[in-house]
Chains A and B, each alone.
Chain A
Amino acid sequence: MQPINLRIVRLAYWLIRLRWYAIIGIIIAYSIAKYFLHITIWKVPVYNIVIFLIILNAISFSFLKYLQNSNIRKSLKIVNGVINFQISTDLIVLTILLHYSGGVENPFIIYYIFHMIIGSIVLTTKESFLQTSFALILVGAMTFLEYSGVIQHFPLEGFTITNMYNNLTYILCTGFIFVSTSYFVVYITRTIIQESNRHEIAYFQANIKLKQKDKIKNEYVMRITHDIKGHITAIQSCITVLNKELAGPLNPQQEEFVNRAYKRIQILNTFISDLISITHRKLKQKQEKKYFNLLNSLEEMLKMAENNAQDKNISITKNIETSIDIIYGEKSSIEEVLLNLIQNAIKYSPPDKIVAITAEDKQDKVLIKITDNGVGIPEEELHLIFNEFYRASNVRTQIKDGTGLGLAISKQIVEYHGGKIWVDSIVNLGTTFSLLLKKDK
């Protein structure tokens, strides 16, 4: 949706708000003039106008609210009409107020310019100039009718000399300046507004283009990684043939190098799979969330990691509150996060140590913590650990496998679910990954 359209509605509400301030302003100005400065002003018209403005503003407000809840397309035209009507009404009201409080003697005559500026912000260029001309006609009519005696002049006794309204030279000269100022003001304001609009549209379009480019980039990465994966799979299968000695026995040296190649190709395979996974997640628009049993997922992921734990003689302790059962989210993604954290804990633990998993029921959320007694993460790198491909400095040389993508993917998934993931760690003592998940939508 074009940002300009929503703007009109916003501006309509702004106008109404300004009018409330104007009403208060009229009351204050009148009170100060009458009771502090002892200037003669007939109170009846002022009272009537204030009441009229209050009613008009209240009606406009409710009408706007009513429009907001109805069919959008036609409403915008109506809103535009309402704004035009309000501004014209404002100008008429101002003219009447001025007429009953001194006409050209009243310095508040400058407030026409206010209306013209506000109108220029809220209306189109054509409408701005039309309303301005309307204002000038109104004030011109009031001035000349009072000058020619057709209507009564209400002087502001006690404020200034009261026969300016009779002084043709004064009227014509100030009139000319007033007219020229008005049109200049409208022109300048419109130029500024149009410039601002142009920027807003350009920014909006640039944003759309950026999103499209990102999508194209992701699709490109998908295609390429898919092709790469094909080659890797083929290489892996050929190496496996050698590794399993299906093409004949290997001498120890051949076996060594085939083994090296085999390990590296496995790492590459996992790496590319992770890359495909993370890119695909970025591409997908809608994912399927539903209610699933978190307890079962935890148990399943623990079972899947059992072999790795047993290989290193690591025991996994569980402390899971039984009140935890169903949460809302993507089952496979959450399980991926859990498995990643559990496997990380095992991977970065020395043999014979303990990995502890706790899950606490926090009413509307679930807090899961996975603690290991392993190598830990240096404090200055804690905030970097969730970056894509980041590998902490104290494990880079030790542990060769793994992609560096696991935590980045996990963070993406958790944030997509509106949850939080963070890490606490002390080098050589251990690390705790904490996972906070919402139970409901």
Chain B
Amino acid sequence: MNKIKILIIDDDLDLLASTRLFLESNNYEVNTAINTKIGSEVLMIFHPDLIILDIMIDTNLEGYNFLNELKSDDILRKIPVIVNTGMAKSIGVNMRAAIEDIENLPKTGFIDKSGDWEELLKAIKELL
């Protein structure tokens, strides 16, 4: 049986390690990348079914730019992306509005980096 493949892109190694373990225990096949450059490379080889992206990876714009690149590729833009934000709930930043600038980005989910994995599972199931 083919497991669903998830690629997590985040600059926090500890978060990567623990989230990976959690998702694998939920029967997903997981790969990780600590920056968007490696992320792009892994993307090409791994062909994930879903990407979990830290929007504020490295700098404030990095995740946003990566999302833009995804959109400009005809095949890649079809991959659902869960955007992980540090502060969405706390400060009510309208990340959705900021990201919906990118046209035709299919299936984008937003979760707060709160360590609440139930929410993550729910978002994954919704997007797939």
**Interface residues in chain A, defined as those with a beta carbon under 8 Å from any beta carbon in chain B:** 226, 229-230, 232-238, 240-241, 244, 246-247, 269, 273, 276-277, 280, 332
B1-58 CB contacts (< 8 Å) to partner A? 12, 14-15, 17-19, 21-22, 25
B77 proximal to A (CB < 8 A): no
Given A233-B15, A246-B22, A247-B21, check contact A240 B115 (CB 8 Å).
Answer: yes
Q: Of B87, B89, B90, B117, which is within 8 A of A240 by CB?
A: B117
Q: Nearest chain-A residue to B17 (Cβ)?
A: A238
B86 proximal to A (CB < 8 A): yes
Expressed in whole angstroms, the Cα–Cα distance for A116 and B92 within the complex equals 60
CB <8 Å contact, B21 and A269: no
Q: Nearest chain-B residue to A235 (Cβ)?
A: B14
B91 proximal to A (CB < 8 A): yes
Name 11 interchain pairs, CB-CB below 8 A, sorted by A.
A230-B86, A233-B15, A234-B12, A237-B14, A237-B115, A237-B117, A238-B18, A241-B22, A246-B25, A247-B21, A276-B91
CB <8 Å contact, A244 and B22: yes
CB <8 Å contact, A332 and B87: no
B44-86 CB contacts (< 8 Å) to partner A? 86
Q: Which of A235, A237, A247 has the most CB of B within 10 A?
A: A237
* A244 CB contacts on chain B under 8 angstroms: 22, 25
Expressed in whole angstroms, the Cα–Cα distance for A234 and B117 within the complex equals 12
Interface of B is mostly: helix
Expressed in whole angstroms, the Cα–Cα distance for A269 and B113 within the complex equals 11
Expressed in whole angstroms, the Cα–Cα distance for A370 and B86 within the complex equals 33
| 4 smallest beta-carbon distances between A and B, as pairs | A236-B115, A237-B18, A234-B14, A276-B90
Count the A-B residue pairs with Cβ separation under 8 angstroms: how many? Answer: 58
Expressed in whole angstroms, the Cα–Cα distance for A266 and B32 within the complex equals 26
Given A233-B113, A236-B115, check contact A241 B89 (CB 8 Å).
Answer: no
Q: Nearest chain-A residue to B23 (Cβ)?
A: A246
Q: Of B14, B25, B86, B91, which is within 8 A of A238 by CB?
A: B14
Q: Of A233, A277, A332, which is within 8 A of B115 by CB?
A: A233
* A269 CB contacts on chain B under 8 angstroms: 114-115
CB <8 Å contact, A277 and B14: no
Given A233-B113, A233-B114, A233-B115, check contact A226 B25 (CB 8 Å).
Answer: no
CB <8 Å contact, B22 and A237: yes
* A235 CB contacts on chain B under 8 angstroms: 14
